[in-house]
Structure 1
Amino acid sequence: MLFAIICTDKPDAAAIRAQVRPDHIAYLNEHAARIYCAGPTLDDGGETMNGSVLMMDFANLDQARAFADNDPYFKAGLFDSVTVRPWKKVFPAD
């Protein structure tokens, strides 16, 4: 089942994001087989990262939440909020 993990950075947290990014990328690489797509959200100018969106495959909501809770970004206190929801791909049709 696919899940959307939607994370919003705390204001003025760019330094935390930059410092922890290598650990975050390593964590994603460890779970690459589960990733449908992932990437940062950007400010209105399209230049500064201000959050993350991941679409990932897990057996259940508890597994998806555990993944989000163990993300180095989350552990470092980068995020103001994290939402984990089941997600259904509708378009384009497979």
Structure 2
Amino acid sequence: MLFMVHATDKPGGLDTRLANRPAHLDWLTKAGPAIKAAGPWLGRDDKPAGSLLIVEMADRAALDAWLATDPYAIAGLFQSVEAAPYKWVFNPPADLAP
């Protein structure tokens, strides 16, 4: 099942983000093909203000357990995290095409 995850950084969180970025990227890499898309979204100053992920997980419980291990989350970077099932309709990756 696909999920969209939208996380918003706490105000002034850029230093926390940068300090934990290598561990966060390693965490994403270890998830392998479960990661369909990932990257920061940018604030008005063109600096990272949060994260957007599209991931494939067995269910919401698996997603929540995995998100709890994100180095950014562990470091307290996020002000909020929203997640919802996602249906990729337009230009899905080959492994998700009908």
TM range (shorter): over 0.9
Q: Can you list the C-alpha shifts for 1:43-86, whole angstroms capped at 9, x where unaligned? A: 124x2000000000011011111111110000000000011111
Give me the TM-score of the superposition, normalised by structure 2. 0.89
Distance 1:40 1:25 in 2: 11
Matching of residue 30 in structure 1 with residue 30 in structure 2: yes
- Helix, strand or coil for the counterpart of 2:11? coil
1:32 shift after superposition: 2.1
Aligned to 1:73: 72
**Aligned counterparts of 1:76 and 1:21: Cα–Cα separation in 2:** 11
Partner residue, 1:64? 63
Amino acid at match of 2:15: A
Look up the SS of the partner of 1:70 in the other structure.
coil
Q: Which amino acid aligns with 1:16?
A: T
Question: TM-score, normalised on structure 1?
Answer: 0.93
Structure 2 residue runs of 5 or longer lacking an equivalent are: none
After superposing on structure 2, the runs of 4+ consecutive aligned residues of structure 1 that deviate more than 2 Å are none
Distance 1:4 1:69 in 2: 15
- The gaps in structure 1 that reach 5 residues or longer are none
Number of aligned residue pairs: 93
Cα deviation, residue 92, structure 1:
3.2
Give RMSD over aligned pairs.
Answer: 1.2
* Cross-structure match for 1:50: 49
Percent of aligned pairs sharing the same letter? 38
User: Distance between the aligned counterparts of 1:84 and 1:74, measured in 2?
Assistant: 14
